[in-house]
Amino acid sequence: MIGALIAAKHCTFLEACEQLFELAGVDYDFTERGSVSSHEYYYPDPVYADNKDKVYAYWQSRGITPGTIDYLGIEEDLEGNTLFQYWDTNDVLVTVKVRKSYNVQKQDKIPKIKFLTDAHGKAFDNTPVLYNINRVNTTQPLIITSGEGDCAAAIECGFLNTCSICGGDANFNWVAECWDFLQSFDEILIVPDNDVSGEKYAKTVTTRLGEYRIKLVHLPKAITLEDGTKQAIKDLNDLLIYGGREAVSDAIRNAQDSKIDAIVDYSDVKKFDMSQVDGFTTGIQAMDRAVDKFYMGTTNILTGVSGSGKSSWLSTIICKSIEQGFPVFVYSGELSNPSLKNWIDCVHAGQRNMTEYRSTRTGAPYYTLNTMAYNAINAYYKGQIYFYKDGFDQRASSLLATMEAVVRKYGVKTVVIDNMSSVDLECDDKNKYFKQDEFIRKVIDFSKRFDVCCWVVIHPKKMDMLRRMNIFDLQGVVGAVNLSHRVLALYRVQPKEKEGVIGRNGQVITPPNPWDVEIEVLKDRFGSGTGKTIGMWYDVPSKRFFDSYLTLDHIYPWDTKDYGDLPLPYPPPQLTDKEEVFGPST
């Protein structure tokens, strides 16, 4: 009945429900329909032309009739542009996109589509809801296309329960924004574009929305026209233009179920090429040469005694992951959320945004992030780093469930667990080692299933060890650790090692070790990193590891200042060469 009202009377879902309740004589309060939820939000206020002649004409050329234009509430502005209007599920207009009502060529050098601005050029706020979300019947399968034109094409062919993503197929903000709405559907059909980006999008969105309910609509790469020529098909709207309604209907009706996750046909396994695997580098040259990068779909074990630099290294990993486009989720059983944030903020800030103070009691220096940098970092990285909340349930089952939720909902690609000892493995002394083994195996499976990069900190058996470590020093989980992809051990170089050993005759017996910390690659499943040792210095003001002036003075993208040749405010004592201290000469 709701679907019939939406189709026949062009109702929204709430309007159809309201009419149905009236017909049934049931009282219900629908006052939320059309009610704004925020007085701070700058809601769009589009100005319409007196007619939609240009919009009708352009979209008619793309196979979309005026009836579909009107059904979707598409309007025309005073300049003849197409206005795609996004309402939320309460029928509130929250976003308007403006599209040229003609084919924009690359040489035109103008944007084809943009968000609506007011008469003074100020942009209205926008929310990444699904296009046409308020006309969807949640009791029927949902179709999600990759653009408003594709959505219109599906509706033109009679598939009214269709939405479109907002912002292109590399933007997944709509998943979190529409999460509760998406949970209403037992079946969702995804219609990706016919390109590499569309293929990657389909893989990601299938995982995040749940393979069990996803069907993929496969568009033909090309079709043969009446004159015998081949026409490439980029998207669903192209298929409507060149193939007609029947071709669109066939493609949607022949959508294929997601395959069984646990099996893969041998012949379908792609050729493995590590250079094509996503991952991030560290900026530490010797590390990146040794391991190339830290890959998605892998689990990395990090170990080291207290004070060896694990927090600084993990902060580096977190900052580098985000910088290269991989959002992060962090569980820390030792650091509170504010303390953890401070470590990461310092690494993001670098020396240039730290202020030195002196303790009134001891006179010792300490460093604080300045307020302007703090605010800029906070704003820039919103929605890119997530912490496991202080005081929340620390059971392994809860942590793993949260990891899955944050990967699906927010697109997290790097997961840090610091450390396994602080996780409640829901065990006793009799099965402690079994549960540790089980937890590591679950994390390894998680990394592969969701194509994420996981880091797990495991303490050594004896935390007071000052010697270099091997895999057998890890707490009771050697078997499972052997299944991990990489194992790294941090070692703090001791003062005597920095001095070296000189014989009585002045001969160097053991050369001085210049580094503050060394990372030993105890295991590298992917290449020749095993056995390599990477030396690093530690910078107190910024809490950064570095191997050169350039890595110490690395500027993260939140910081848009041009420092030119200005030297670092706190020259590190480890770089004794004048040129390195003041930066490389130009």
How far is it, in rounded angstroms, from Cα 281 to Cα 116?
Answer: 38
Specify the pLDDT at position 266. Answer: 80
**Predicted confidence band at 583 (pLDDT cuts at 50, 70, 90)?**
very low
What Cα–Cα distance (Å) separates residue 198 from each residue in 190, 219, 230? 10, 11, 21
Whole-number Å distance between alpha carbons of 189 and 253: 10
pLDDT of residue 270: 77
**Are 55 and 177 in a shared domain?**
no
Instruction: List, for residues 143-173, the tens digit of each pLDDT value.
Output: 999 999 999 999 999 999 999 999 899 999 9
Domain boundaries, position 47: 42-127
pLDDT band at 428 (very low <50, low <70, confident <90, very high): confident
**347 plus 461 within the same structural domain:** yes
DSSP 68: H
Contact 481, 471 (CB under 8 A): yes
197/332 Cα distance (integer angstroms): 34
| pLDDT tens digits, one per residue of 236-257 | 999 999 999 999 999 999 999 8
End-to-end CA distance of the chain: give it in Å, rounded.
74
Distance CA 173, CA 130 (A): 10
pLDDT tens, position by position, 372-407: 999 999 999 999 999 999 999 999 999 999 999 999
The amino acid that residue 374 corresponds to is Y
Instruction: Tell me if 492 is assigned to some domain.
Output: yes
Q: Is 235 a residue whose pLDDT tops 50?
A: yes
For residue range 21-68, what is the model confidence (pLDDT) as tens digits? 777 788 877 777 888 878 899 999 999 999 999 999 999 999 999 999
Residue 220, domain CATH? 3.40.1360.10
Q: What domain count does the chain have? A: 4
What confidence score (pLDDT) does residue 585 get?
39
pLDDT of residue 582: 41
Last residue of a domain, one of 62, 97, 127: 127
Q: Are residues 203 and 243 in the same domain?
A: yes
Mean pLDDT of 432-458: 92
Task: Specify if 267 maps to a domain.
Answer: no
Q: Which residues pair with 538 in a beta bridge?
A: 545
Query: Within its chain, how far is the Cα of 311 from the centroid?
Result: 22
Closest Cα to residue 133, out of 117, 145, 118?
Answer: 145
Confidence of residue 293 (pLDDT cuts 50, 70, 90): very high
In a domain? residue 1: yes
* CA count, 13 A, side-chain hemisphere, 352: 16
580: confidence class by pLDDT, cuts 50, 70, 90 = very low
